Amino acid sequence: MPIDARGFEVAAGVRAGGPGGFFLIAGPCVIESEKHAVSMARTIRDVCVRNGVPLIFKASFDKANRSSAASFRGPGLEKGLETLAAVKKEVGIPVLSDIHEAWQAEKAARVLDVIQIPAFLCRQTDLLMAAAATGRAVNIKKGQFLSPEEMRLALDKATGTGNHKVMLTERGTFFGYHNLVVDARSIPVMKAWGYPVIMDASHSVQRPAGEGARSGGDAEFIPLMARVGIVAGADGVFIEVHDRPEEALSDRGNSLRLSGLEMLVASLVRLKGASGGEAA
C-alpha cells in the first residue's frame, strides 16, 4: 500500500509529500572536498531556513557514469561517506547520495538519509531492492529511456521489500542527440500512485556528452524547469548548486550559481502558494 496523504518523514524537520509546501534537494553534483561540501551545505541551509523550505543536501561520492574515464568521479565510498557524515554533524541537515552497486547500500545507509538510484540504473532490480531493504528513504530517478508509466515497475520493485519511503524523480527523456526534454505530464502521472514526485530542474537542462568528453547544459533554464515542476504538482525540487559553476568538477553546465539560489527558492515559495502546486 502507498504512503498516506501526509507523506513520510525523511529526517527530523523534513517530510516528503503531503499537503503544504515543497522540499528542496540541493548541493554540488559531486563531493569536491569536505571543506567545500560543508560550506555549501551551510549556505544552502541558511537560504532554506530563511524561506521556510525543508532541505536535503545532495552530493555524490562517486560519479560512476561520467562520459569519460578521465573525468573526476569523486572521493569514493568511504571518504565520501565521511564527508557527508561531517555535513550532517556540522550543519544539521539530512543528506542524499547515489549508489551504483547493490553491495554499497548497507554501508551507505549508515550515513545517508536518502539513497538515490541514478537514472541509468533505475531498472536494476538488485540495486533497487538492496537500497529499499535498508529501510532508508529511496529516491529513484526516472530513466531517460522510460515513460512515466514504466516507472511503476521500478516503484514496485522497491516497495516490494516492505519499504514505502520511496520518491520518484522526473529528469527528462531523450530528444535527439545531446539534448533532453521534459514532459510535465509525467509528474501527475507518477503522483497518482501515492508517492512523492520530484522535479530535477538541473538534469532536465543537461546536454548529455554535449561537450564531447563531458556533458554540457543550459543552466539559465534551471529556474524555468523548477517553476514548471511546482506548477505541475511536484512535491520537491532537485537542483545542483555550485558557488563557482565554471570551476565545478562535474556538471558545470547544469549547475545553478549559489548566489542565485535565494531568489529562485523565494519565487518557488510564492508560486507554490499561488498555485497550490497542482496541475490544471
CATH number of the domain to which 187 belongs: 3.20.20.70
Query: Measured between alpha carbons, how far is 125 from 128 in angstroms, rounded to an integer?
Result: 5
At 274 the pLDDT is 87
The residue range of the domain holding 70 is: 8-275
Q: Model pTM?
A: 0.92
Task: Give the phi and the psi of residue 130 in degrees, each rounded to 5.
Answer: -65, -40
Q: Which residues of 9-37 are buried (b: 16+ CB within 10 A; e: fewer)?
A: ebbeebbbbeeebbbbbbbbbbbbebebb
Look at residue 69 and tell me if it is in a domain: yes
Look at residue 58 and tell me if it is in a domain: yes
Look at residue 2 and tell me if it is in a domain: no
Look at residue 158 and tell me if it is in a domain: yes
Query: Measured between alpha carbons, how far is 33 from 247 in angstroms, rounded to an integer?
Result: 13
- Listed residue (175, 174, 157) closest to 166, CA to CA: 157
Residue-wise DSSP of 175-186 = -STT-EE--TTH
Look at residue 280 and tell me if it is in a domain: no
Total number of domains constituting the chain:
1
pLDDT in tens, the chain (280 residues): 456 667 899 998 899 998 889 999 999 999 999 999 999 999 999 999 999 999 999 999 998 776 666 677 889 999 999 999 999 999 999 999 999 999 999 999 999 999 999 999 999 999 999 999 999 999 999 999 999 999 999 999 999 999 999 999 999 887 767 778 889 999 999 999 999 999 999 988 876 654 544 566 788 999 999 999 999 999 999 999 999 999 999 887 889 999 999 999 999 999 999 876 454 3
Query: Measured between alpha carbons, how far is 208 from 260 in angstroms, rounded to an integer?
Result: 24
How far, rounded to the nearest angstrom, does the alpha carbon of residue 163 sit from its chain's CA centroid? 19
Query: Measured between alpha carbons, how far is 269 from 100 in angstroms, rounded to an integer?
Result: 33
At 280 the pLDDT is 36
Which pairs count as long-range contacts for 144-153, CB under 8 Å and 24+ apart, including other chains? Answer: 144/119, 144/120, 144/171, 144/172, 144/173, 144/174, 144/180, 144/208, 145/173, 145/174, 146/122, 146/173, 147/186, 148/183, 148/185, 148/186, 148/189, 148/190, 149/189, 151/122, 151/190, 152/193, 153/123
Look at residue 3 and tell me if it is in a domain: no
Look at residue 31 and tell me if it is in a domain: yes
At 61 the pLDDT is 96
Look at residue 1 and tell me if it is in a domain: no
